[in-house]
Amino acid sequence: MKFDFKDLELFVAVAEAGSIARAAERCHTVASAVSKRLSDLEESFGAALLNRGARGVELTSAGHAFLVKARKLLDQAEQLEEEIQKHSAGMRGQVTVFANMSAIVEFLPTVLASFLKRHPDVHVHLEQHISEHIATSVKENSADLGIIGDLPTLDKLTTLPFRQDELVLVTRRDHAVARRTSIGFGEIAALPFVGLDANSSLHYVLAKAAADCGKGLDLRIRVASFDAACAMVAAGLGVTILPRLAIAPYAKAFDLTSIQLTDAWAARQLFICVRSDQALHPAAQMLLEHLQQ
């Protein structure tokens, strides 16, 4: 059995027009070509689909059955074409994004919500990693986009500004320094600290700051999230340093206060990280443009 979608289109046109001539005019072809295609179709099936007469054509019982299926097949083909066009235009697909904890907590919920509302057929796979791993993953094509807190020196990567965040000291309201409006890390480096996981970007920031002061961090406990860190501070286990925007709801919930840090490293620039030697697929390119708005 051999037929194509053009055969189906012509058959449906003939069935709806009731005439080969009118169907040929509707399909912008000649009647003889339409008639030949339909004859070949009937020969392929081994059954008559049309009764031809002087006043036009009428469907046989087989023709009526075929008409139902032909219309369904044409509808499915149209849906398939629309689906593929959406993919090629970047309206469908999956984008893999690796980001550090600060970006995920502070900025990405709102940004991704607005992007996915605009592009509901795109799916975003988001994972949290430290900046070094993020940059390596983007370079090795394990992620389409990365959001990092520093600038690893890796070939074949392009970094673009994303957002700025501010690190602050978080303490209980009854802490000795709680009434300060600003403070330098050197004044608090010897205090007991609640730290994040050893692989987190913030751990590296604080470890370097302590080393620059000639001191080691007194880490009483390490946790894996910003809310857990705030809970530990509220329990009196130490102070912590976290992004101001990220901890705002937790500070309120645990009745904590935040104090501005005067150190230059406390004002951080977050960057988008992409491969420089390979174009993004359409969905990833759309998300990149949205992140830059």
Cβ-Cβ contacts under 8 Å for 3 (sequence gap 6 or more): 41, 44
List the Cα angle 214/264/241 in 5-degree steps.
70
Q: pTM to 2 decimals?
A: 0.65
- Please state the rounded mean pLDDT for residues 201-213: 86
Report, at the CATH architecture level, how domain 5-88 is classified: Orthogonal Bundle (1.10)
CA atoms within 13 A of residue 253's CA, in its CB half-sphere? 13
Q: Which pLDDT belongs to residue 91? A: 52
Q: Lowest mean pLDDT: which of 109-113, 172-176, 190-194, 201-205?
A: 201-205
Same fold for the domain at 93-163+269-291 and the one at 164-268?
Answer: yes
104-144 pLDDT, tens digit each: 999 999 999 999 999 988 899 999 888 888 999 999 999 99
Question: What's 93-163+269-291's CATH class?
Answer: alpha beta
- Topology of the domain covering 164-268: D-Maltodextrin-Binding Protein; domain 2 (3.40.190)
Instruction: Kindly tell me if the per-residue pLDDT of 61 is higher than 80.
Output: yes
39: left (phi over 0), alpha (psi -120 to 50) or beta: alpha
Q: Report whether 171 contacts 238 (CB < 8 A).
A: no
Which secondary-structure segment (H or E) carries 38? helix 31-45
For the chain, what is the mean pLDDT?
88
CA 170, CA 233: separation in Å to the nearest integer?
A: 8
